[in-house]
Each structure stands twice: as structure tokens, then as C-alpha cells.
């Protein structure tokens, strides 16, 4: 089965034959591919709307995986029961607000989960907040583009000791990404500077001074991070 590169990069973080819950499964593509790669012991495809739920059921039946993948209708991780003994959770292709909401509301009831892989189609600081708050250590991060969209992927692993809080820069840009940076990192944030500067120029500062100050602080922080890379 051919899948998008963004999903393949998520699968790269999954090792061995494991029990996976994919929330917002998009026709269960990731779980079907995980099976083909020998990485799936058992899977749950979670959907919150009837249309995608029915599409995932059909995809799993067509792949002959009804014995191995359970498609469930429900809100986020509420489709997962502790007795499922899920080891790895993937949440892909959503905004950071929704991913963070799912983690905040539902992750702490599932002690079997050891690995969380999130793929945001916006930024990811709210996701980092939730992962660290629930003692998941961020092990790797990457930025990629596909079909005109930018994605941030975070792989986190449960730590049975308290995970140190992130600095504000680590929270905003990612502790791993800050160390590695690279072409995609710089391109993304150079574009972000241009976007924010256009917004600032369009705002009437006399009426919205607080907003201008906040945006200017964000611009300066990004420039400082990029300048550190170029020194």
C-alpha cells in the first residue's frame, strides 16, 4: 500500500510488533501499512464522525484485517480501553489545539501507553506542554513539507521519572529541533517572520498596541533563534 510520506515518517518511529491506536485514522492507512511492514500486533482505528468511520471499516475489511484492527467510533482516546493494552498512540494531520486537547483529556487514563507520535499541521508548543506535563520525554522531532503543507512530527516516550520543564524557546521551537535546526527549520521560521511582519504592518498600533507588542516579541525571538544558527 502506498501512503503519504508524512505517514511513512510516523511509521519510522514504530519498532517491532506493537499495539497501536491511530486516532483520526484517515481510512486506516497507517495501520494497514504497519501490518504490511510487520509492525502491527493489534490496532485500533479511532474516528469521531460516521463518514470516516465507515470508510475505515471498509478499508480494513478490504485489506482482510478485521481480525487484527478494530475500527471504533468515539472521541479521541476514549475509543481505547485500558484492557486493550495499547503501547503506541499516533495522532496525525490535526491542528495542535485538537491534539493537545485529546492528550490533556484522555492520555492519563491509559497507563500501558509508552510511545506517543503526534503530527501537527500547525505548530506544536501546546502538544509539547501536554506531553511534558504527563511525563513523556520528547525523543525526536522533525519538520517536513508534503503537497504544499508543513507538518511537525514529535516522537515522545513515557519517562517514569519527572520530565524537566522546557524552556520557553524549547517549548516554542522544540528541544530537538533547536539543536538540529537545518534547512526546513530555517525556511519555516523565515516564512513565519515575513508573515508576522505583514500582520504588524496592517495593524493600527494606536488601537491594538498589546497585539503589536506580542507579535514583535515573537518576531524577535524567531530572529534570535535563526541568528544563533548562522553564527
State the alpha helices, DSSP H only, in 16-158.
29-36, 50-62, 96-106, 125-133
pLDDT at 231: 42
pLDDT of residue 229: 58
Helices (H), the chain: 5-11, 29-36, 50-62, 96-106, 125-133, 168-173, 175-180, 183-202, 209-230
For 57-105, how does the pLDDT look when each residue is reduced to its tens digit (9 = 90+)?
A: 999 999 999 999 999 999 999 999 999 999 999 999 999 999 999 999 8
pLDDT of 230 = 53
At which residue does the C-alpha cell 517536513 appear?
Answer: 144
pTM > 0.95: no
* Cβ(174)–Cβ(138) below 8 Å: yes
Highest mean pLDDT among 15-19, 153-157, 158-162: 153-157
Instruction: Specify burial of residue 1 (Cβ count, 10 A radius: 0-12, 13-18, 19+).
Output: exposed
Give the pLDDT mean for 168-179.
Answer: 96
pLDDT, tens digit, for every residue of 5-40?
A: 999 999 999 988 999 999 999 899 999 999 999 999
Amino acid at each position: 500500500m502506498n501512503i503519504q510520506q508524512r505517514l511513512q515518517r510516523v511509521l519510522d518511529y514504530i519498532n517491532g510488533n506493537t499495539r497501536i491506536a491511530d486516532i483520526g485514522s484517515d481510512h486506516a492507512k497507517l495501520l494497514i501499512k504497519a501490518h504490511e511492514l510487520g509492525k502491527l500486533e493489534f490496532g485500533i482505528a479511532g474516528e469521531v464522525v460516521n463518514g470516516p468511520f465507515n470508510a475505515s471499516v471498509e478499508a480494513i475489511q478490504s485489506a482482510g484485517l478485521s481480525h487484527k484492527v478494530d475500527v471504533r467510533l468515539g472521541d479521541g482516546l476514549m475509543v481505547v480501553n485500558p484492557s486493550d493494552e495499547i503501547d503506541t498512540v499516533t495522532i496525525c494531520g490535526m491542528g495542535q489545539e485538537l491534539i493537545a486537547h485529546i492528550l490533556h483529556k484522555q492520555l492519563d487514563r491509559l497507563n500501558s501507553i509508552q510511545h506517543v507520535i503526534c503530527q501537527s499541521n500547525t505548530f506544536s508548543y501546546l502538544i509539547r506542554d501536554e506531553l511534558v506535563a504527563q511525563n513523556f520525554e520528547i525523543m525526536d522531532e522533525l519538520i517536513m513539507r508534503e503537497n504544499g503543507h508543513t507538518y511537525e512530527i514529535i516522537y515522545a516516550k513515557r519517562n517514569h521519572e519527572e520530565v524537566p520543564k522546557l524552556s520557553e524557546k524549547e517549548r516554542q521551537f522544540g528541544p530537538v529541533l533547536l539543536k538540529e535546526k537545518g534547512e526546513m527549520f530555517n525556511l519555516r521560521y523565515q516564512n513565519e517572520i515575513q508573515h508576522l511582519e505583514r500582520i504588524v504592518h496592517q495593524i493600527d498600533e494606536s488601537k491594538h498596541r498589546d497585539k503589536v507588542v506580542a507579535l514583535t516579541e515573537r518576531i524577535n525571538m524567531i530572529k534570535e533563534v535563526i541568528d544563533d544558527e548562522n553564527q
